[in-house]
Amino acid sequence: MASTPTIDEENGNKGSMWVLDQKLDQPMEEEAGRLKNMYREKTFSSLLVLRLAFQSLGVVYGDLGTSPLYVFYNTFPNGIKDQEEVIGALSMIIYSLTLIPLLKYVFLVLRANDNGQGGTFALYSLLCRHAKIKTIPNQHRTDEELTTYSRHIFHEKSFAAKTKRWLEARIYRKNALLILVLVGTCMVIGDGILTPAISVLSAAGGIKVAHPKMSSDVVVIVAVIILVGLFSMQHYGTDKVGWLFAPVVLLWFLLIGGIGAFNIWKYGHTVLKAFSPVYVYRFFKRGGWNSLGGIMLSITGTEALFADLGHFPVSAVQIAFTVVVFPCLLLAYIGQAAYIMKNQDHVIDAFYRSIPKGVYWPMFVVATAAAIVASQATISATFSIIKQANALGCFPRVKVVHTSKKFLGQIYIPDINWILMLLCIAVTAGFRNQSQIGNAYGTAVVIVMLVTTFLMILIMLLVWRCHWVFVVIFTGLSLLVECTYFSAVLLKVDQGGWVPLVIAAAFLLIMYVWQYGTVKRYEFEMHSRVSMAWILGLGPSLGLVRVPGIGLVYTELASGVPHIFSHFITNLPAIHSVVVFVCVKYLPVYTVPQEERFLVKRIGPKNFHMFRCVARVNDGWMFRFR
């Protein structure tokens, strides 16, 4: 860790005092260079990948998988005019699932992971390593020697280098990018509140379908009880919860796929015309814009898929989606559409009414269990992004519990868990119906997708160094779909869409103020450092009695002597014979290998017995294994 220039140097005056500081507070390149590349990315056997793919069903895909519970209800809240309207909506669902979850996320965005970690902050961490855009100016070249600190060197005249210089040129561009990331993060947190609410409430609504005279209050009470139980299970960890939930979700996908195939056979194959993109055009021509808010719910949970990536390897998530999730979802939506075309009056309760009577109650039990699992995806995603925000100095310090010794991404944050539970119960009891919660849900999801798209553009330019043609194609297709949905959800802001905006605004304020305070504190420490010339003037005893022992002085600085040390010298009668300045430095990487976490270097002459220890980490403030 090289000594950071003083104010005099920044003004162009490299005086003798600065030269003295540089000589006696040597940089840590030598120490960092001794570290061997002992870290290797974990490789998984085929059997383990299949096992993890099975587990990922219970953690990653619950949200996306339970969308058939409420999509058609929110798409046609005012009823259906004719059959072609159903085919047009189904065509939109088919192509939305293909373009966004399958092509964009599973086969492209998942590759932009940060050493296995996903989410908006993971994308931001990648960008921070390839451009000096981190707002806390404590980056140093020794950080780049970490085995997990992957970055590319650009040709000076390349488009990537020009983009990098453009980002670094103005501080407001760095702040704008940070705010964009924080907005996406806050929307994912809002998603973690709304997903359990709409999923559990929709599943519990099956009781009212079977018993129409039952009060809606009973459904709400049942939903609240289920939510309390769900959040109370989080402390067991993703691994145990995944094994518990995965069979439920697998059974869910097989059942909705099987029922969908049965309904296609029973009610006719006419609905298969929806695979023709012509019906997408006809859908908009017939004024289907107002139905887009409901259709967009078919791709909710896609961002949680990316944010939950830290819990499982990419290959496991891809296998689970392509082999199980995608085909079963298509069959489920096509089967529901086939039923609705023959029973247009049943569109409000299309999911439950399309179930054959012989399997209704077993399906209700599985649907309720699957709705509980659906909530797990966004809850786990919220834990992951809060941990990432912690590491980048953008969130108050909270306890992070690592629930697995094998997989670093499997975590639990108690404080956030109970906050999410209270907010989720408030939303469920406050709205009491799927429609308004669905409008709020859609607003949160589409904003997160737009943020991911903008960050992916920079990733493709700076990290992957893609040809501009591929960047344009990706941007065009993504924005075509997402901006279309965004325009639709804007029309429903006053019908529940304001909820995620309020939640996001509250978390954004907390995160931005905390980040601003972190930056100011670091700047104060930098400008208040003690000169090495003053330290040397005190002599080896530092002007005090040196008593046996080791004294640890915590500091935010990775170089220089902190200002607080001068207070120790002037106010204490004695100090330990060995003084170690300890700095805990959070780096924009997913994990720091254990062999590379600590750098130790002597400060000043040998007889002063002063050292610096830099602990390089990217974990929660407090953590422990269960």
Provide the pLDDT for residue 241.
65
What pLDDT does residue 168 have? 80
Query: Which pLDDT band holds residue 239 (cuts at 50, 70, 90)?
Result: low
Query: How would residue 538 be classed by pLDDT, with cut points 50, 70 and 90?
Result: confident
Report pLDDT for 21: 47
Mean pLDDT across the stretch 362-391? 79
pLDDT for 623 equals: 37
Distances (CA, A) of 267 to 170, 233, 271: 61, 41, 9
Task: Return the top range by mean pLDDT from 44-48, 378-382, 596-600.
Answer: 596-600
Considering only residues 479 and 238, tell me which one the structure prediction assigns the higher pLDDT: 479
CA angle 160, 162, 163 (to 5 degrees): 65
Q: Which residue has the higher pLDDT, 39 or 101?
A: 101
Q: What is the pLDDT of residues 182-238, one digit of tens each?
A: 888 888 888 778 878 877 777 777 676 666 667 667 878 888 888 888 888 777 766
Cα separation, 504 vs 496, whole angstroms: 14
Tell me the sheet residues that pair with 401. Answer: 412, 624
Question: Tell me, what's the pLDDT at 209?
Answer: 67
Contact 387, 400 (CB under 8 A): yes
At residue 617, the 3 state secondary structure works out as strand
C-alpha separations of 20 from 5, 180, 490 in Å: 12, 42, 61
Give pTM, 2 decimals: 0.76
Higher pLDDT, 210 or 5: 210
User: Thinking of the domain 46-131+161-391+401-517, which architecture would CATH place it in?
Assistant: Up-down Bundle (1.20)
- Cα(533)–Cα(326) distance, rounded to whole angstroms? 67
Look up tokens 């120490």; give the residue: 31
Q: What pLDDT, in 10s, does the model give residues 75-106?
A: 887 778 788 889 999 999 999 999 999 999 99
Q: Is the pLDDT of residue 327 over 60?
A: yes
User: pLDDT-based confidence at 135, cuts 50/70/90?
Assistant: low
Segments making up each domain of the chain, as ranges: 46-131+161-391+401-517, 530-617
User: Where on the phi/psi map is residue 465: left (φ > 0), alpha (ψ -120 to 50), or beta?
Assistant: left
AA identity, residue 195: T
Contact 513, 470 (CB under 8 A): no
Strands (E), 247-391: none
Burial readout 361-388 (b: 16 or more C-beta within 10 A, e: otherwise) = eebbebbbbbbbbbbbbbbbbbbbbbbb
The residues facing 622 across adjacent strands are 399
Kindly indicate the confidence band of residue 417, based on its pLDDT and cuts at 50, 70 and 90.
confident
Percent of the chain residues past pLDDT 70, beyond the cut: 81
Contacts with 419 (C-beta within 8 Å, 6 or more apart), sequence order: none
Residue 138 pLDDT class (50, 70, 90 cuts): low
Closest CA to 378 of 181, 205, 234: 234
Please count the other Cβ atoms lying within 10 Å of the Cβ belonging to residue 416: 22
DSSP label at residue 205: T
Q: Report, as an integer, the average pLDDT of 531-554.
A: 84
Residue 553's DSSP bridge partners are 581
Write down the pLDDT at residue 88: 92
List, for residues 248-298, the tens digit of each pLDDT value.
Answer: 889 999 999 999 999 999 998 889 999 999 999 998 888 778 788 889 889
CB 240 within 8 A of CB 247: no
What is the chain's mean pLDDT, rounded? 79
pLDDT reported for residue 190: 82
Please check the confidence at residue 242 and state whether its pLDDT lies above 70: no
- pLDDT-based confidence at residue 499 (cuts at 50, 70, 90): confident
pLDDT grade, residue 43 (50/70/90)? low
Q: Give percent above pLDDT 90 in the chain.
A: 15
